[in-house]
Amino acid sequence: MPWPRNKIDTFTTVKVHEAVMKKTFLLVDDDLVAHFVNKRLLEVSGLAEHIFTANNGLEAINYISHTFESKQVVPDIIFLDVNMPVMNGFKFIEALRKLSHIPYEKIKIVVLSSSSHDRDKEMALQLGVTDYLSKPLSAQGINNLFYAEQIGSV
């Protein structure tokens, strides 16, 4: 007798989480509620070793530069908002690429934005982001991202 579909989906989700090494996340967003919700989702998922936050792209650049130079934990995955004051998400990606001492190619950047403009998605892809997700972050979005990583497409 075949397994019911929901049992297979549950098993797949659990197996993916057990097989994935815990990651260090950096949440870059000017919305403090988004920080709280996203941090909580990542904590509950069991996928986070460390979770750090920045309120804009400039704070994030300064954080990454400092942590790399002081040999602290550099983020594996950055959840990045596009529209922020001081330095937006696109300017952040450009600035990060210019930091020659940062292993940019080892950091996965996932744009997490309320913007549904095609031009924003196209710009994100041109800048080499790993994925573009719509706000709010969801358990399904996290599962999809880590399942893709597990099978080698992220």
Residue 87 sits at φ, ψ, to 5 deg, of -145, 120
Q: Is 120 within a domain?
A: yes
Q: What is the pLDDT of residues 101-121, one digit of tens each?
A: 777 778 899 998 887 778 888
DSSP type of residue 56? S
Token representation of residue 64: 């990454």
Residue type, 144: N
Q: Is 89 within a domain?
A: yes
CATH number, domain of 101, equals 3.40.50.2300
Tally of domains within the chain: 1
Q: Is 154 within a domain?
A: no
Q: Is 103 within a domain?
A: yes
User: Residue 119 — left, alpha, or beta (φ > 0 → left; ψ -120 to 50 → alpha)?
Assistant: alpha
Q: What is the pLDDT of residues 27-70, one digit of tens each?
A: 999 999 999 999 999 988 888 899 999 999 999 999 998 887 77
Q: Is 4 within a domain?
A: no
pLDDT > 70 in the chain, percent: 82
Parent domain of 43: 23-146
